[in-house]
Amino acid sequence: MFQKTIAATPGMLQASWRNVFSFPFIFSLISFCVFLQSAIAQAPLVSLQNGQLVYNKYANARQTNVVNQIPDFSNSGYRGGGVRIPDVAVVKTIQPIPGNCRALIQSAIDSVAALPADANGHRGAILLKAGVYPVDSSLSIRTGGIVLRGEGNGLTGTVLIATRQVQHNFIILQGAGSGYGEVSGSRVHIADAYVPTGTKTITVPAGHSFAVGNNIVIQKTPNEAWIDTLNMRQYGWTTSQYRITFERQVVAVQGNTLTLNIPIVDPIEETYGGGDVYRSNVTGRIREIGIENMRIESDFISDTSENHGWVAVYMARVENSWVRNVVVKYFGNTAVSMLGNSRFNTVEDCAMIDPKSITTGGRKYSFNLDGYATSNLFQRCMTWGGRHDYVSGARVTGPNVFLDCISENTFDDIGPHHRYSTGLLFDNIYGGRMRVQDRGASGTGHGWAGAQTLFWNCRSVRSDFEVQSPPTARNWGIGCIGLVQVNTGYWESWGTHVLPRSLYLQQLQERMGMQAVNDIATPQQMQGTLRDSLRTRAIRIAGEPRVSPGTVPGSSFDLTDNGRIISAQYPNTNANEDYPRLIDNSSQTKYYRSGRTNLWVQYQSTVAAIVTYYTITSANDVPTRDPSNWTLAGSNDGVNWTTIDTRAGETFATRFLKKTYLINNNMTAYSYYRLTITGNNGHTGTQFAEWELFERRQQTITLSEIQDKTYGDEPFELVASASSGLPVTTELIAGPGILTDSFVTITGAGAITLRFSQAGNDNYFPVVVEKTVTVNKANQSISFSAISPKLKYEQVPLSSTSSSGLPVGFTVVAGSGQLTGNTLKLTGEGLVTIQAGQPGNENYEAGSPVQQTILVLGLGSVTDEFNLRIFPNPTRGAFTVRFIPVKGRNLSFTVFNSNGSIAGAATVLAESSTREVQFDIGAKPNGFYFLHVTDGLRRVVRMVIKY
């Protein structure tokens, strides 16, 4: 009845709708919707019913479509979560040695890296026996399958001490390359108008090439409306900076619907630019690496030292790896930092205790995620004295999970720190302030710190607990307890914990079974009694004494402290006044030689060094014995000498007076230095208490690895450190980029020249390093959708977009058509092929052209030139086309669907005796199809109906 009314009397129906939707009705409907939305908002988004999780849908902030749900976070962790970390067999054992142990450990790493990997990707474990290992530089693992294992993380276990007095990453796990390795030609625009948070399915256009097992990247392609809706333009946010990417795998394909292994954690909305999906082929990522069972300390000078170990374990482009049972103390910034597309890693039972640095921005980020790290798990970790203890940086894409962790004596907030990290779960975290918010102009324009961030059963014991939701997204605080509740994000059960105790473990159990939970969780953790023991342990570790690295040769600028050989022309038979007393660092002792006013003393250094000043200290008595005239000479063989300083008429006004003498013209490093005294102040004997030789060292600047870039890449960070530990000045002196703080924002293709300099001081010479970074043109893809069949003489507006945003041009490749701008006038029947192209510019390569063929139908009846007969028609799928061939001409048959896409094609050659062809559209949707036949001159079109 209702359908008949629509067909028969559309005007009457329109009037009827107008009458129904009177103002009182609309007002009542709106009121009901507001009530309904409120009721839905108050229902638990996740609840435990009959042992299973039940999810309720929700709408994002400032939106009304109730289609999103809290995502499954359980794919986070080693090998995708729920997999026990392996105990890899030991293949090499080392013991600590006196002095610097870096070469010892790095050599062991390199030797194991040369071994073949087994079926699980393991090469073997290196066992560092208990003891203290001073290490004066970074340790690097760049090959998968290596485990660095100690014999315990206590004071009597395996203790590695970073002794280098400059900010540096200590243990570096570093893969090769960058990016995702986009498979050329695979990128398509997502067909869904809205992809909700929590879903595992997306729709792609027909004709796609995706298959089960494909690794893919989903990339949001935001437009200006998104930036403005979030009100972030004021902080410098741009659409190119926020083309956020998510790694996934295709686990099922049903027509144009792809099912993913991991849910979407940030909605994709066509209104705000939608998103793309493409196949990826990531190379260079290393896997199956472990750092375990040890203590790592940084050697520091004071509580505010800035020049010493900065990041204990640095993981970039690493997957399916782990850090466990590691205690980190005194590092200035971070215990474990993951970045560079690192994924499926676990950090567990680790501690970051008592960091030494200024308590201000950019420091004391105890456990940190950055640089598109995804699907990682931090669990059962502890901190003491940190700022942002469990934290993420810009555009970190989830899921990522912090589970059952505690913070003591903390100085700032836990949560995403800046620039739109997504898909974070903070599950049973205990600490100080906790926040997810719009940070506005903080830092350099942090803006919205995160979206789809969930605090689950967390407890804040200091300051406030804040949850704020950005427009088009949602942040949650569920089952949380704190001192002060701040802002109007989604809150549920404030002040009372909810069930299940751990959302992550419950989601893991439902996805993989109870054995998966048992494989990664401890009994105390599952019983919910872990928190107090973690707090007690963190406080205990904070109170443990510092492990001494011992004296490291070469650490002093005074060459006479490096433990080498002093000699003299005339020794004293009285050992208490003999020449070794000159380098005992005590002015209360002296070298005295009676009856000598001309004599020399000589020092042989452990290393050749450039001496730029030296000191002489007067002795305790008899001023006339003080030296007055001398020369200082250098040699590299102890035979051939070069004078580098000469003094005459020197006096010492008091006893125990140290005087410093500058050498302004020496740039040569010598191993031997000889002080030859040619006169004193009037006595027959000569004495002095101390002689020191101070070197001025050459310094080097070390840069983090900077790969060539592509226009459109994210801003990249410059990490430069001087071996002196002095601050490095960074300049962008040429090229398409803007340097802000330590980040370079790419503004175009070309060559960026960077200059890193350190001005030097009394102990170090200045140094300048330049680095050129090539910024390649970006590739672009063209989206040009199929065009449905048209009528002859119809004018068709053509629409195509490029991923670059540059305008797309059109050409007629074949058939009868005239282009005027982007409007095509169809001047003949048959097939018209249109090509969309974009030639590129100074920043983009030319896009690969995309062609679409339009089926053009004639007006009125179509003359049947080929005596066609189609049967059966209508058809359920298979049909036959019978025809009379045209002598000397090939016949081409093409079947189009109603959208203009090709559903089948065949060609019959002129010399063939065939008089019929078969098609089968059984796998295609029901509807109207068009058969186009041509011999190159004449054309026939017939309709085929599939039911």
**Per-residue pLDDT tens digits for 539-577:** 889 888 888 765 444 456 888 887 779 999 999 999 999
Asked if the structure places residue 61 within a domain, the reply is no
One domain, residues 162 and 84: yes
Residue 2 pLDDT more than 70?
Answer: no
pLDDT digits (tens, 9 = 90+) for 146-168: 999 999 999 889 999 999 989 99
pTM over 0.75: no
pLDDT value, residue 742: 81
Q: Are both 648 and 735 inside the same structural domain?
A: no
Out of 221, 251, 280, pick the residue that ends a domain.
280
Q: Final residue of a domain: which of 676, 695, 714? A: 695
Query: pLDDT value at position 551?
Result: 40
Whether residue 269 sits in one domain with residue 376: no
- The closest of 374, 248, 345, 371 to 287, measured between CA atoms, is 345
CA-angle at 587, arms to 581 and 592, nearest 5°: 45
What CATH number corresponds to the domain at position 730? Answer: 2.60.40
Average pLDDT value for residue range 865-878? 88
617 within 8 A of 690, measured Cβ to Cβ? yes
Q: Give which of 454, 324, 450 is closest to 396, Cα–Cα.
A: 450
CB atoms closer than 10 angstroms to residue 354: 22
Q: Can you give the pLDDT at residue 705?
A: 72
User: Looking at residue 496, what is its pLDDT?
Assistant: 94
Task: Sort strands 743-746 and 823-826 into parallel, antiparallel or unpaired.
Answer: unpaired
The answer to whether position 559 is within a domain reads: no
Q: Residues 721, 660: one domain?
A: no
In a domain, 873, yes or no: yes
Q: CA nearest 500: which of 443, 428, 600?
A: 428
The whole-chain average pLDDT of the chain stands at: 90
Residue type, 474: R
Q: Do residues 477 and 359 share a domain?
A: yes
According to the model, what pLDDT value does residue 279 have? Answer: 96
Helix (H, G, I), strand (E, B) or coil at 522: coil
- Same domain, yes or no, for 172 and 308? yes
- CATH code of 829's domain: 2.60.40.10
Alpha-helical (H) ranges within 389-481 are none
Residue-level pLDDT at 557: 83
Tokens of 185: 């030609």
Residue 354 has pLDDT above 50, yes or no: yes
Amino acid found at 846: A
Under DSSP, is residue 821 helix (H, G, I), strand (E, B) or coil? coil
- In the chain, pLDDT over 70 holds for what percent of residues? 94
| pLDDT score of 549 | 67
**pLDDT tier at 43 (50, 70, 90 boundaries)?**
confident
| pLDDT tens figures, 673-695 | 999 999 999 999 999 999 999 99
What is the average per-residue pLDDT within 514-536?
Answer: 94
Q: Look at residue 513 and tell me whether its pLDDT is greater than 70.
A: yes
Give me the mean pLDDT over the 167-186 stretch: 94
* Cα angle, residue 740 at apex, residues 735 and 743 outer, rounded to 5°: 80
Structure tokens at 791: 């009528």
- pLDDT recorded at residue 861: 38
Task: Identify the residue whose tokens are 């009959």.
Answer: 50
Task: Specify the pLDDT at position 755.
Answer: 95
Q: Please compute the mean of the pLDDT values over residues 737-750 and round it to a whole number.
A: 91
Q: What is the pLDDT of residue 862?
A: 42
Choose among 687, 570, 676, 689: nearest CA to 624: 687
Q: Do residues 740 and 685 share a domain? A: no
Reading the block at residue 322, the tokens are 């782990």
CB 435 within 8 A of CB 462: no
- Determine, yes or no, domain membership for 716: yes
Asked whether residue 925 falls in the same domain as residue 898, the answer is: yes
Nearest to 944 by CA among 935, 932, 794, 791: 932
pLDDT band, very low/low/confident/very high, at 42 (cuts 50, 70, 90): low
Contact indicator for 601, 650 with CB cutoff of 8 Å = no
570 located within any domain: yes
**What is residue 31's predicted lDDT score, i.e. its pLDDT?**
36
Cα-Cα-Cα-Cα dihedral sign, residues 827, 828, 829, 831: negative
The predicted structure's pLDDT at residue 171: 98
Q: What pLDDT was estimated at residue 1?
A: 27
**Averaged over 925-939, what is the pLDDT?**
87
Nearest Cα neighbor of 568 from 692, 675, 696, 716 is 675
Please tell me the predicted confidence (pLDDT) of residue 794.
87
Write out the two tokens for 109.
């790493």
Contacts of 543 (CB under 8 A, 6+ apart): none
Secondary structure (3-state) at 128: strand
Same domain, 350 and 375: yes
Q: Specify burial of residue 543 (Cβ count, 10 A radius: 0-12, 13-18, 19+).
A: exposed
DSSP string, 647-683: E-S---SSTT-EEEEE--S----EEEEEEEEEEESS-
The separation between CA 378 and the C-alpha centre of its own chain, rounded to angstroms, equals 16
Give dist(CA 394, CA 460) in Å, integer.
24
Structure confidence by residue, pLDDT tens digits, 100-136: 999 999 999 999 999 999 999 999 999 999 999 999 9
Q: Which residues pair with 391 in a beta bridge?
A: 368, 415
Tell which of 776, 798, 815 closes a domain: 776
Number of structural domains in the chain: 6
Rounded to the nearest 5 percent, the helix, strand and coil shares of the chain are: 10, 40, 45
pLDDT digits (tens, 9 = 90+) for 596-618: 999 999 999 888 899 999 999 99
What's the pLDDT at 468? 96
User: What is the greatest pairwise CA distance in the chain?
Assistant: 133
- Name the band, by pLDDT with cuts 50, 70 and 90, for residue 471: very high
Backbone angles phi, psi at 192, to 5 degrees: -70, 140
pLDDT at 11 over 50: no
Contact 267/60 with Cβ under 8 angstroms? yes
Q: Strand pairing partners for 831?
A: 855
Mean pLDDT of 77-87: 97
| Closest to 903 in 3D by CA, of 926, 937, 882, 873 | 926
Between the CA atoms of 133, 134, 137 and 139, what dihedral angle is there, to the nearest 10 degrees? 10
Residue keyed to tokens 């030689």: 593
Read off the pLDDT band of 717 (50, 70, 90).
Answer: confident
What own/partner pairs with CB < 8 Å and gap ≥ 24 does 27-33 have? 33/64
| In-domain check, residue 37 | no
Same domain as 328, residue 252: no
Cα gap 667→766, rounded to integer Å: 13
Q: pLDDT value at position 550?
A: 53
Q: Which of 792, 802, 860 is nearest to 831 (CA)?
A: 792
Q: Using CA atoms, how far apart are residues 885 and 915, in angstroms rounded to an integer?
A: 7
321: which 2 tokens? 């790896």
Give yes or no for a cis peptide into 500 (omega within 30° of 0).
Answer: yes
| Mean pLDDT for the stretch of residues 40-54 | 84
CATH of the domain at 130: 2.160.20.10
221-258 confidence digits (pLDDT tens): 999 999 999 999 999 999 999 999 999 999 999 999 99
Is 387:411 a contact under the CB 8 Å cutoff? yes
Confidence at residue 276, expressed as pLDDT on a 0 to 100 scale: 96
Element (H, E) at 235: none
Contact 619, 687 (CB under 8 A): yes
Question: Domain of 618: which CATH number?
Answer: 2.60.120.260
Looking at the fold, whether 292 and 422 belong to one and the same domain comes out as yes
Range of weakest confidence among 209-218, 335-344, 436-445, 508-517: 436-445
Q: Residue 750 belongs to what domain range?
A: 703-776
CA dihedral 325, 330, 331, 337 (to 10 degrees): 30
Separation between Cα atoms, residue 365 and residue 416, nearest integer Å: 11
Contact 254, 210 (CB under 8 A): no
Give the Cα separation of 567 and 407 in Å (integer).
Answer: 57
CATH code, domain with 931: 2.60.40.3080
Task: For residue 212, tell me if it sits in a domain.
Answer: yes
Does the pLDDT value for residue 5 go beyond 50? Answer: no
Q: What is the DSSP string of 152-179?
A: -SSTTSEEEEE--SS-EEEEEEE----S
User: In whole angstroms, what is the distance from residue 804 CA to residue 802 CA?
Assistant: 5
830 domain residue, yes or no: yes
| 617 & 513 share domain | no
